[in-house]
Every structure is written in structure tokens, then in C-alpha cells.
Amino acid sequence: MSTPPISPIPSEPDLVLRLAIESRGFDATAADPERNCWMVVHRHVHGVLPSEYDIREVPESLYLAVLEQRRSMEAGGQPPG
């Protein structure tokens, strides 16, 4: 029996917003929204930050939703709430 693929969850706006906010925490090491969103999604999905040679995949739709949310927050200022 194979394991079902990880389900992307971009329809959960609270999760997407939380991850977008968390991605800002990596800005001190590199102000690269794409990298930082990928790192936070990787941590969410796999439970750990990626290592240098980590090639595990993350759900692309979740990553893109988090990146879009982050860019939206940056364009409009702070996140709601």
C-alpha cells in the first residue's frame, strides 16, 4: 500500500497567512521571499528545516499560496489582524 501524496492546503487561509508571517522570520539570514516561503512550507510539511542536501518536495500549490500571501502583505503593508 502506498502512502497518499501530501495534500496541498491552499484553501485554508489561516494556515497560508500564518506561514507567510513565519517566512518573515528568515529575512535576517536572507531577504529572499521565495527561499523563505519555501523553507517555512518545508518545515510545516516535514517538521524540520531543510538541510543543505534536502531534496524532499513540498506541495507546490501551498508554496505558491504562501508566496502570494507574503507578496500581498508586502504590497499592502502588514497582515490583517
**Per-residue pLDDT at 54:** 84
Residue 30 corresponds to which cell in the numbers above? 536572507
Q: Is 13 strand, coil or helix? A: helix
When pLDDT is cut at 50, 70 and 90, the band that residue 47 belongs to is very high
**Per-residue pLDDT at 10:** 53
> pLDDT digit string (tens) for 50-66?
988 888 899 999 999 99
The residue extents of the domains of the chain are 13-75
**Rounded Cα gap, residues 44 and 38, in angstroms:** 10
When pLDDT is cut at 50, 70 and 90, the band that residue 78 belongs to is low
Mean pLDDT of the chain: 85
Look at phi and psi of residue 47 and say left if phi exceeds 0, alpha if psi is from -120 to 50, else beta. Answer: left
**Rounded Cα gap, residues 63 and 42, in angstroms:** 9
